[in-house]
């Protein structure tokens, strides 16, 4: 067998974060009774992505992220009197309340659990990731669950991967594959660390970046052919 250890990103790799996020955002707007004159979700998504990039580049910390994304969003819609931390809290609760799995994810984990040692490696906030992994006993599939928020470093940083391999000492780098949808965090991080990478390109986006994965799939079950 080619690999013994599989490191799964969570969002948009095993779970459809984008679908959950749309629903959670709607809950948040409803909570504040914000009427949409236009579709605000793309605005929020863009702000959120920028703020996450700042975090992944080490420019801001997790505490700032929690506050900054809704502060910028509320400013954008002219409602800067609203509490950004409350916005963040409502949104995160919405993510927990609306779990969506990618097609075939649970079946694949079920099948793989006898053969591979699997872990979750996620850049996320603990108050979201932990409860979601408790759902449907998802956590039982995994040897380790590593959440960036809890360890103070994030993919693609080397420190994050050092932590992963210290936590799973039996994992050999040459027999480990990381599977994730983000070129900038999952794939870049894996490439830099010297482990094989699989880009889970569920939304079939074009790769315009310089970061290239060893494998690319658009459908999670295709992983079966790569790992054996």
Residue window 182-201: x/- pattern of binding to Mg ion, with contact defined by CB under 5 A: x-------------------
C-alpha 24/C-alpha 132 separation (Å) is 14
C-alpha 136/C-alpha 101 separation (Å) is 11
149 lies in the binding site for Mg ion (CB under 5 A): no
Tokens of 88: 């963040």
What does the DSSP assignment read for 98-128?
S--BPTTHHHHHHHHTTT-EEEEEE-S-HHH
Nearest residue (CB) to Mg ion, 11 versus 16: 11
Nearest residue (CB) to Mg ion, 56 versus 181: 181
Nearest residue (CB) to Mg ion, 129 versus 176: 129
Shortest Å distance, C-beta 227 to Mg ion: 19
11 lies in the binding site for Mg ion (CB under 5 A): yes
Residue nearest to Mg ion (CB): 11
Tokens of 161: 């991967």
**Nearest Cα residue to 88 out of 56, 48, 53, 146:** 48
56 lies in the binding site for Mg ion (CB under 5 A): no
181 lies in the binding site for Mg ion (CB under 5 A): yes
Nearest residue (CB) to Mg ion, 8 versus 74: 8
- Of 9, 11, 186, 196, the catalytic one is 9
9 lies in the binding site for Mg ion (CB under 5 A): yes
Count of residues interacting with Mg ion (CB under 5 A) = 5
**How many angstroms separate the most distant Cα atoms in the chain?**
57
Residues 222/201, Cβ–Cβ less than 8 Å: no
Q: Which stretch binds Mg ion (CB under 5 A): 2-10, 99-107, 109-117, 189-197?
A: 2-10
Q: Which stretch binds Mg ion (CB under 5 A): 32-40, 72-80, 100-108, 173-181?
A: 173-181
What does the DSSP assignment read for 124-181?
S-HHHHHHHHHGGGGGGG-SEEEEHHHHT--TTSHHHHHHHHHHSTT--GGGEEEEES
- Which of 5, 6, 7, 12 forms a contact with Mg ion (CB under 5 A)? 12
Nearest residue (CB) to Mg ion, 90 versus 155: 155
Judge whether 9 counts as a catalytic residue.
Answer: yes
Shortest Å distance, C-beta 83 to Mg ion: 28
Q: What is the dihedral of CA 162, 120, 14, 194, to 10 degrees?
A: 30
Which residues are at the interface with Mg ion (CB under 5 A)?
Answer: 9, 11-12, 181-182
Active site residues: 9
């Amino acid at each position: 067998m080619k690999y013994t250890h599989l490191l799964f990103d969570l969002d948009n790799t095993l779970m459809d974060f984008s679908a959950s996020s749309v629903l959670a955002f709607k809950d948040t707007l409803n909570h504040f009774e914000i009427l949409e004159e236009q579709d605000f979700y793309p605005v929020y998504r863009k702000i959120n992505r920028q703020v996450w990039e700042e975090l992944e580049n080490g420019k801001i910390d997790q505490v700032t992220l929690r506050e900054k994304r809704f502060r910028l969003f509320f400013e954008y819609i002219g409602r800067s009197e609203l509490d950004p931390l409350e916005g963040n809290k409502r949104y995160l609760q919405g993510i927990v309340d609306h779990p969506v799995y990618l097609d075939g994810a649970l079946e694949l984990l079920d099948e793989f659990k006898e053969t591979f040692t699997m872990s979750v490696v996620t850049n996320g906030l603990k108050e979201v990731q932990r409860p979601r992994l408790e759902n449907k006993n998802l956590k039982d599939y995994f040897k380790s669950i590593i959440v960036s928020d809890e360890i103070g470093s994030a993919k693609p940083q080397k420190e994050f991967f050092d932590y992963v391999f210290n936590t799973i000492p039996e994992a050999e780098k040459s027999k480990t594959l990381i599977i994730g949808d983000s070129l900038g965090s999952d794939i870049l991080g894996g490439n830099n660390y010297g482990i094989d990478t699989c880009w889970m390109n569920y939304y079939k986006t074009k790769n315009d970046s310089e970061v290239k994965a060893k494998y690319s799939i658009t459908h999670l079950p295709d992983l079966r052919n790569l790992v054996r």
